[in-house]
Every structure is written in C-alpha cells, then in structure tokens.
Amino acid sequence: MTVQVDISIHDNRWHTHRWQPTDSNVPVTTVVADAVKTAVATLHTGGCEISVVLANDDFIRHLNRRYGHKDTPTNVLSFVARDAYMVGDMVENLGDIVVAFDTVIRESQQQGKPPLHHCIHLLVHGTLHLLGLNHKTCEDAEQMEGLETHILAKMGIDDPYANTDVI
C-alpha cells in the first residue's frame, strides 16, 4: 500500500516551533506524514494520496467561513475529494486536511497536552473524516473516538479523551 502525503506549509511557525525537546531533530513534516499514514493503515488497505495544509488561524478561519459557514477559526478541517477515483489499487486523492497552528498551540496549553501530540490527534481525526467516518451521532462519535485512541496508542500517545470533551 502506498500512501502519499503532500504537505504545504502556510505559516513558518510550523518549522520554527520547538515541538518537543526529544523530537527537536525530527522535522514536523515527517511527524505529519507518519500520523496520516498510521491512520490510513488502520482502516484502508489500498493506496491513496492526502494533502495536508499546515496553516494558521487566519487561513483556516477563511476556509471555515467559506465552506463551514462559521466565521471563526477551528483546529482542523477536512475536505473529502469529490473526484476520488481508483487507478489499480491507488485512490488518486482522498482529500485535504488543514490544521491551524494558533489553535493547536492554544488548545494544547488549555488541555495540558504536548502540542505535538494534540497536532497528531487532529491529523488522525481529519484523516478518519477523509476515510468516511464522522461524529454526527453519539454512536458515530464513540466509534471515531475509539479508533483515534487506538491509532494514537500505536504511536505512543495517551488517550486524548481521558480528561477532555470531544473535539
């Protein structure tokens, strides 16, 4: 299975932020790609392409206003590709995930979590949306949270729902 993760960085703070002292030599783009690939591998047996945009609150607020009809920034947005199609075992494009730096940092501080772990959680969450999961009903939310917790545990990250509300 080939999972291609295309990453665009729209805010230099994604590069310059010191995510964790122990991970200071690992580029954030590597962590982002690994998070998406781990989430995909849990549910998807074919290949795919996913684009990730590492942005800021202004960028994501604009998208949220235009497509979500909410004039506020949010932590993560997922856009499922309308024209996804199969080429052999490869789905050309599942869609896009956009993550807001400012909100990741703010929420991680409010929740007492390492910012990198919160970012990885949001990437996993966004990837699951691209794979067709949602949290519109309580049952759907429970399933999605369980999968997120399982995927994050494989990456050595604690249960994000242990002490917080649903994202």
Please write the tens of the pLDDT for every residue from 113-145.
999 999 999 999 999 999 989 999 999 999 999
If one compares 92 and 127, the residue with the highest pLDDT of the two is 127
> At 34, is the secondary structure helix, strand, or coil?
helix
Q: What is the pLDDT of residues 47-72, one digit of tens each?
A: 889 999 999 999 999 999 999 999 99
pLDDT above 80 for 1:
no
The residue with greater pLDDT, 97 or 83, is 97
Six token digits for residue 65: 């206003």
Give the mean model confidence (pLDDT) for residues 102-110: 96
Look at residues 160, 164, 163 and name the one whose alpha carbon lies nearest to residue 35.
160
Global confidence as pTM:
0.90
